[in-house]
Structure formats: C-alpha cells, structure tokens
Amino acid sequence: MTTGEQDPDADLVARVGRGEPAAAQALVARKLPRMLRLAHRMLNDAAEAEDVAQEVFLRAWKQAPAWTPGAARFDTWLHRVALNLCYDRLRRRREIVTADPPEQIDTGPAPDRGLLARDTGARVSAALADLPERQREAVVLCHYQDLTNIEAAALMAISVDALESLLARGRRSLRAVLADLRD
C-alpha cells in the first residue's frame, strides 16, 4: 500500500475484530462473491470453492483482532489466503489417483439460456484450467477478480513486467485453444 492510501476495509476489519456480528455479516456480503469466483476459477469445482471461501473467512475472523492496517490492504491479504488454499487443494489433487473421474455438477447457464452459452463457458473454463498455474493465477486475478496489474503483481510477489509476461502467454494460449469461438 502506498503512503497516504487508506485501506477501504480497515474500519470493517476493526469492527469484526471487536466481535460485532453486523460487521462480520457485512464483510462476508462484501467479499464472499469475489472469493467464490476466485476459488471456482482456480479449482474448477463449485463445492471446493465454497470450502475455500469458508476457510478464508474463518482465517479472516481469527486474524481480524490482530490486524494492523498499513502493511498491506486487507483485500490483498484475503486474496493471498484464498490462492494459498487453492494451491493446497491443487497439490492434493495431483496426489490422488482415481480410476474414474469425479462427477461434475453442471454450473453453466440454465438450459433456457441456450446450449451454445453452456458449451462456450465450459470450453473457456477447461482452457483456463489447462493453463500453467502461474498463468492461470495471473489471468484470474486480472480478468475475473478485476485487480489492477500492480495489485495482482504484488499479490503474486512478482514484478509488473513478470505479471504482464504471464498474462501475455496465458492470453496467447487461450486464444489459440479458443480460436474457433471468434468466428
């Protein structure tokens, strides 16, 4: 965080740290949708995304009483916790070998929205899931979480140039895999 920049969540986190139930509800209402989207994009599994989001908020409540504003934005810390939890789950997935793939719940648009939209969404999700982890993380943070390049680079602990390189490679890969969708 730059000097003079105020953390927009500082007051809310302080209130959560004091045990105010309304503040905890407000924090969840404000941050839950973004945490779910981040985890879902990283894990491609709605149930696991919900588990990650729940764990993120448990850690936030435990950390809130000791939170000291100024070193980093609370939102940045929350994203880092979510990413670390996603990486833990991704590592565990590699260790588990199963004979049959797990059943997937259809999280695409409702049938009345059209089969094409569902197929396109599934292809984009699959293409995103096939990217190397760091490229996927960069794309998700910048394009799905709406973080700036500076915020995403800080969250990933890399330079902005390195982030832009990851984004460029990720976009190039996605364009190549999804080229037929542009027609």
pLDDT tens digit sequence for 45-69: 999 999 999 999 999 999 888 888 7
- Which two structure tokens, joined as six digits, stand for 36? 């779910």
**Domains along the chain?**
1-105 (1.10.1740.10), 114-183 (1.10.10.10)
Please determine, for residue 113, whether its predicted confidence score (pLDDT) is greater than 70: no
Name the percent of the chain lying above pLDDT 70: 86
Q: How confident is the model at residue 160 (pLDDT cuts 50, 70, 90)?
A: very high
pLDDT tens digit sequence for 21-49: 999 999 999 999 999 999 999 999 999 99
Residue 127 or 4, more confident: 127
Residue 164: the pLDDT is 95
Residue 144: the pLDDT is 87
Residue 172: the pLDDT is 94
- Please tell me what DSSP assigns to residue 107: -
Q: How confident is the model at residue 111 (pLDDT cuts 50, 70, 90)?
A: low
Q: Please, what is the average pLDDT of the chain?
A: 85
Return d(Cα 20, Cα 13) in angstroms, integer: 10
8 Å CB contact between 166 and 123: no
Q: How confident is the model at residue 125 (pLDDT cuts 50, 70, 90)?
A: confident
70-90 in b/e form (b: 16+ CB < 10 A) is eeebbbbbbbbbbbebbeebe
Q: How confident is the model at residue 2 (pLDDT cuts 50, 70, 90)?
A: very low
